[in-house]
Amino acid sequence: MTIVGVVVFPGSNCEQDAAEAVRALGAHAEVLWHGEATVGDVDAVIVPGGFAHGDYLRPGAIARFSPVMSAVAAFARDGGPVVGICNGFQVLTEAGLLPGALQKNRGLAFVCDTVSLRVETTDSVLTCAATTGDVLRIPINHFEGSYTCSAETLAALRAEDRVVLRYVDNPNGSVDDIAGLCDAGRNVVGLMPHPERAISDLLGSSDGVVLLRSLLEAASGRSSRLAS
Amino acid sequence: MRFEVLVEVSLRPGVADPQGQTIERSLPTLGFAGVHGVRVGKAIRFELEALDEPAARAEIADMCDRFLSNPVIEDTRVTVTATDPAR
């Protein structure tokens, strides 16, 4: 069975949602405490939302010193699928696993809404089971979610097809409507929206399923390659 | 030597500062009509033991780059004051 590790920092608050979503899709979820310098034998890692270490200094700034982050970085370098959601995205940018930064939303508004996202590439661990051009309804819930980066980084993201998801109607001022992006290896993805909160019509949308199913496919594909 | 250090972290020019903009829009309602260019940042103060001022500044620059600021969106201004020049 595919095992997904869900990292928990002091102040994380979406780890149970992420674990529950993973279990609902038939995989095993394992909580990884931030103080442990290992990710064990997981096939994929989710860095969930919340306020890791209270967002002290900057969101994600302290979390990157947690022992587990060295293990997550090593897992990512090794090609392991890693997805950072919301605060997890902020943690991955601060840890240098993804380029750019998340700043306060345009208009200084905390945004809590369900928005439309367009799948821009299927060449990433979060979208490999989706279709380019798909429009997904996914909740967002953040104050510091306006993605920004240098002009050179933006040019590279575009040229290398690394913008994974774009907002159809930009809610926070993110540059180039970017809602999610991947690293050069395409196995590390960060996004502000919460696919784990959109896994059932009872929750208002099940459009997150295709994203999490992509992650599980990428994870099982990798583990069977490693086993062979 | 011991130094008192002030690190001022501010958003880089060109990076939107919604807090600064909100303050700038609010001040005129209290009658302060002439205020422009409000930018909000943070101040980090600490004491540092170092061999001399260049050594202190080099260490602080490294701290700013790797932790105290996010160079993607923030600039820093450092003020260093020796507190025991006699020693």
Give how many domains chain B has, as a whole number.
1
Distance (Å) from the alpha carbon of A107 to chain B's nearest alpha carbon: 6
Which residues in chain A have their CB less than 8 angstroms from residue B22's CB? 108
Considering only CB atoms, B18 lies closest to which of A106, A149, A150, namely A106
Considering only the beta carbons, identify the residue of B21, B68, B73 that sits closest to A103: B73
Between chains, do B15 and A148 touch, taking CB under 8 Å as contact? yes
Q: Enumerate the residues of chain B whose CB falls inside 8 A of the CB of residue A149.
A: 72
- What is the count of structural domains for chain A? 1
Mean local confidence (pLDDT), B1-7: 96
Q: Tell me how far apart the alpha carbons of residues A74 and A4 are, in angstroms, rounded to a whole number.
A: 16
Report phi then psi at A117, rounded to 5: -120, 140
Tokens of A12: 């994380």
> What does the alpha-carbon distance between residue B8 and residue B69 come to, in Å, rounded to a whole number?
9
Report CA dihedral (A189, A20, A104, A102) to the nearest 10 degrees. Answer: -20
Q: B15: which chain A residues are within 8 Å (Cβ-Cβ)?
A: 103, 148
Q: Is residue B12 part of a domain?
A: yes
What's B33's domain CATH number?
A: 3.30.1280.10
Identify the residue whose tokens are 């932790």.
Answer: B67
Q: Chain B: which residues have CB within 8 Å of chain A?
A: 11, 15-16, 18-19, 21-22, 67-68, 70, 72-73
Is B87 domain-assigned? Answer: no
Q: How far apart are CA B72 and CA A157, in angstroms?
A: 15
- CA nearest B43 in A: which residue? A57
pLDDT value of position B86: 57
Tell me the shortest Cα–Cα distance from A63 to chain B, in angstroms: 11
DSSP assignment of B5-72:
EEEEEEEPTTS--HHHHHHHHHGGGGT-TT------EEEEEEEEE-SSHHHHHHHHHHHIIIIIS-TT
Is pLDDT at B50 greater than 80 in this prediction? yes
Candidates B18, B68, B73; nearest CB to A108: B18
- Full residue range of the structural domain in which residue B76 is found: 2-82
**Helix (H, G, I), strand (E, B), or coil: what is residue B82?**
strand
In chain A, which residues have their Cβ closer than 8 Å to the Cβ of B73? Answer: 101, 103, 148
Mean pLDDT of chain B: 92
- Domain extent, residue A8, equals 3-227
**Cα first-last separation, chain B:** 7
Measured distance CA(B83)–CA(B28) in Å, rounded? 41
Answer whether residue B87 shows pLDDT above 80.
Answer: no
Distance CA B61, CA B78 (A): 8
- The pLDDT-based confidence of B84 (bands split at 50, 70, 90) is confident
Among chain A residues, the shortest Cα distance to B16 is held by A106
Measured CA to CA, the distance from residue B40 to residue B17 in angstroms comes to 7
pLDDT at B85 over 80: no
- Among B23, B73, B75, B76, pick the best mutation site for testing chain A contact (most A Cβ within 10 A): B73
Of the candidates A15, A120, A144, A196, the residue annotated as catalytic is: A196
Q: How large is the angle between the packed helices A209-227 and A15-24, nearest 10 degrees?
A: 70
* A28 has catalytic annotation: no
Report which of A132, A148, A28 is spatially closest to residue A89, judged by C-alpha positions. A148
Q: What single letter denotes the amino acid at residue B57?
A: R
For residue A215, the domain's CATH number is: 3.40.50.880
Please indicate whether, in this complex, the C-beta atoms of A146 and B22 are within 8 angstroms of each other: no
List A15, A34, A86, A120, catalytic entry: A86
Q: Are A108 and B19 inside 8 Å of each other by CB?
A: yes
**What was the pLDDT predicted at B15?**
83
Helix (H) and strand (E) counts in chain A: 5, 11
pLDDT (0 to 100) of residue A116 = 98
Nearest residue to A60 via CA among A22, A93, A85: A93
| Model confidence pLDDT, tens digit, residues B19-48 | 888 899 999 999 999 999 999 999 999 999
Q: From first to last of its 228 residues, what are the pLDDT tens digits of chain A? A: 999 999 999 999 999 999 999 999 999 999 999 999 999 999 999 999 999 999 999 999 999 889 999 999 999 999 999 999 999 999 999 999 999 999 989 877 899 999 999 999 999 999 999 999 999 999 999 999 999 999 999 999 999 999 999 999 999 999 999 999 999 999 999 999 999 999 999 999 999 999 999 999 999 988 788 877
CA distance A111 to A169: 13
Within 8 A of B68 by CB-CB distance, chain A residues are 57
CA angle in degrees (0–180, nearest 5) for A111-A9-A221: 90
Look-up of token digits 């130094």: B3
